[in-house]
Chains A and B, each alone.
Chain A
Amino acid sequence: MYDTFIGLEIHIQLLTKTKVFCGCSNNYGDEPNTNVCPVCLGYPGTLPILNTDALFMAYQVVGALKCKRAEAAIFERKNYFYPDMPKNYQISQFADPVGINGEVIFPFQGEEHRVRIHDVHLEEDAGKMIHAGDMSLLDYNRAGTPLLEIVTEPDLRSGEETEAFLRYFRTLVRTIGVSRGNMEEGNLRCDANISINTHGAGLGTKVELKNINSSRFVRLALEYEKERQIGIVEAGGSVDQETRLWNENKDITVVMRRKEESKDYRYFPEPDLPPYRPGEDFFRRVVESLPELPLDRQKRMEAAFSLTDEQASYLCEEKARADYFETAVAAGTEAQHLYFWMSGDLAALVNKSGTPLEESRLSPEKLATVLRLLDNGEIHGPIAKKMVALLFEEEHDPEGLIAERGWKALDDTSKILPVVKRAVDANPSAAEQLKQGETKVLGFFMGQVMKETGGRADPETAKALITSYVKGEIV
């Protein structure tokens, strides 16, 4: 038997308005080289100025990961040459990161797992080099945008567990609101390290994996690498300490550089940025700004609203979703009923329109009203569906809408019966079939009735009337 040890180095792009050391817009999707200035292009004589919003977000993550925070932000220069890095050193942190010794508790296969955090440090991102034919093009819009690196201890045991951890980590940073946390968009990136060893023997020889650009690739690359390393050991060999790249076309890892080629970054304190002490007031604001962590909220909501693990997990995956749920419950909606609508119709509308839940016109209060009207029997299911879809897109008052469109439920037998009679009389052969016991024809008549009443007829009443009329029980 073998033990597997997996650790991650996660980079998240912070959602600040401006870059971390200059006033340029933090918007790297724009026309290339438009969000640049002498500072982020590394012009001679320019100096960095720390963006305290970026530092605030860094300390929010430090708090959420339960790290010991540094009282001063101390930056160092990490020296290496690359064309996308304007100064050919990266302003980063080394000896004194903003946070150390934290932990993340995350759900995996119905249990709570723990990953220790080694450190959290703030740094600047590089630009982007794009190869086009025989040319290399450089876009520096991303150069100098704030990055937060989170380094875990090797506490993960499988590709599957790592994938679950990353999914939770994404929810965590989105819940705090510091990053979009999307691996496919590159605002959450991660490198992994993995080693295997015979059971109980402790850490093995570490291999670093790069170029894993989605959580699925993380799982696949780690599972591949685990099997590769076990294969080497089983065959009597030993694993080389090296950095390997995930090849997503071939689903394998290949050597990028060996240990002896590892770089010496020659860190030293950044003389342009003296230690910055944010002070007690700043740290108090950080603590006050932190929302309830997703797993805590999930557990609380499970208990408070009698939700299943899966239901609460779905709701807490996005802070906006959980907020929506709790607001609607507070407005008087029954929890299971609400969950049914949120995970069904509402989720479909969000998917179809691309409009995030919190930006739709359908406020949780309005949804609560629609569901109350449904519960009271003032409208029927099909109308409720129609209303939800309409209110998602357009601004209306739900009760006004019912009056305006004449959507009020039709329960009155005297009003439904004439419609039933017209439908049955117009379709004598279908009526005969139903009379003979072919109940599927009932659906056809229901369709006719609903069509004519605009979906307002009470379904149970309509069904009963159709059956009775066909059988001649009423005339």
Chain B
Amino acid sequence: MPFAVKDNIAVKGLPLSCGSKMLDTLSSPYSATAVEKLQQAGAVVVGKTNLDEFGMGSSCDNSALGTTNNPWDVARVAGGSSGGSAAVVAAGMVPFALGSDTGGSIRQPAAFCGTYGLKPSYGVVSRFGLVAYASSLETIGIISLDTQLLRIVFDTMRGQDPKDQSSRPFSPKASEKRQGEKPRIGVIADIEGLAPAMESAYRERLDLIRKKGYEIVEIELPMLEYVVPAYYTIASAEASANLARYAGIRYGHRTDWADEHGELTEKSRDEGFGDEVKLRILLGTYVLRSGFKDQYYLRAQKIRTLLRNEILSAFQKVDQILSPVFPTTAFPHGDAGLDQFQQKLADKFTATANLAAIPALAFPAGQSEGLPFGLQLLGPEFSEHKLIDTASAFTELWEPKTAPGFREWR
């Protein structure tokens, strides 16, 4: 079975560009544990896919290497940062692809391209071989059009890895529900910030689900308001250290001339990194400065703990939480789309799962104005299988559709 791999996940002998000029000449000397496990099970890597540079973006337009179009409308973005993986799956080129999710980077492109996108619980899939952007938030995950395949790939990849000390054994709680019993679904009360067409599509889907006999309960998540600032503070802080190794010394882009090593590093980084990457490195350096650390980085960690507690108590009342993935459908390339700041604000539904370290599954829920419309389910730690079950049961609620020109890989 062929599969594609986002180009920030190592496959021995293949490029590991991370969508950056900094690494566009690098060939990986080793393979990620997740990739090795799939290869051992007989799957074959057929290609690497585009991404926003180092995973920083929501469009794939931040790649230094090329543009990725949305198979539903090539004037629109595929989303990001795992846009390449979502696009190849939506176009039928591979049955599944690996992506990585730091703040929504699997789920948002999955929603934009009309596919499923699973972000597992933190630490359940080894991060060894995933190029670090924000280590405490990110995980390798899967994009596919087939929920059964999603489950098989997940079960093949997961497991504690001696090469990743932050990895954890997959230990789901025994279900209190009887087989086939419908989960109680929580929805966020007073949801804000959705595009008008999105909001009505969202309400319609809730009605459909309710009519199908699911109990829907409104829950309060006041901390949601702080998700985006907390997420960007932590992610940028970790990124500022994680990306420090790209200095033009051992591998990757090196400037043509420098008089001494400090200048060599400065010029190589200036030439090798794109604007968004530089912005986040600067931001991360700033929030960790002595005198500012308490105010930014440590406060963001406190918000993270509070949010996690809030989510945990929500799961006392409901089995799963249903929410939008992104406030809009796939937006156009360039200036007609969302600017970088609007894209960041739009991460609040997805980044919640990364801050809380819980699994989340984006699934296609029909279309809105001719473009794929996606929703996501969030569950307690290790509830991946139940999220897949619920999303599979929903498929009968709306007509599944594939992108124009879709041709299955076989």
Contacts and interface: CB of A to CB of B under 8 A. Distances in A.
Given A38-B30, A45-B128, A87-B245, A79 B288 contact: yes
Interface in B153-201: 162-166
A340 interface: no
B249 A44 contact: no
A83 interface: yes
Contacts of A88: 241, 244-245, 247
Interface string B232-252: 000001101100111101110
Contacts of B244: 79, 81, 87-89
Q: Which of A48, A88, A129, A267 is the most central at the interface, judged by chain B CB atoms within 10 Å of its CB?
A: A88
Contacts, number: 103
Interface string B1-41: 00000001110000010100001001011101000000000
A271 B166 contact: yes
B261 A272 contact: no
Interface string B131-171: 11001100000000000000000000000001111100000
Nearest to B162: A49
Interface in B284-301: 285, 288-290, 293, 297
Given A45-B9, A47-B127, A83-B249, A268 B164 contact: no
B164 A47 contact: yes
A308 B285 CA distance: 59
B128 A266 contact: no
Contacts of A274: 165-166
Interface string A76-100: 0101010100111100000000000
Q: Interface size class for chain B?
A: 35 or more
B130 interface: yes
Contacts of A86: 245, 250
Contacts of A89: 241, 244
Contacts of B16: 44-45
Contacts of B132: 44-45, 272
- The majority secondary structure among interface residues of chain A is loop
Nearest to B30: A38
Contact of A271 (B18, B162, B238, B251): B238
B265 interface: yes
Of A42, A266, A267, chain B has the most CB atoms within 10 Å of the CB of A266
Interface residues of A, number: 31
A45 B241 contact: no
Contact of A44 (B18, B238, B290): B18
Given A48-B165, A271-B166, A266 B288 contact: yes
A77 B241 contact: yes
A49 B251 CA distance: 22
A89 B132 CA distance: 14
A44 B128 contact: no
B165 A272 contact: yes
Contacts of B265: 81, 83
Given A38-B30, A46-B128, A83-B247, A272 B289 contact: no
22 contacts: A38-B29, A38-B30, A44-B10, A44-B16, A44-B23, A44-B245, A45-B28, A45-B32, A47-B163, A49-B162, A81-B247, A83-B249, A87-B241, A89-B244, A138-B249, A264-B290, A266-B240, A266-B241, A266-B289, A271-B238, A272-B166, A274-B165
Interface of A: 38, 41-50, 77, 79, 81, 83, 86-89, 129, 136, 138, 264, 266-268, 271-274, 276
The 4 closest A-B pairs by CB, nearest first: A88-B244, A271-B135, A266-B288, A271-B136
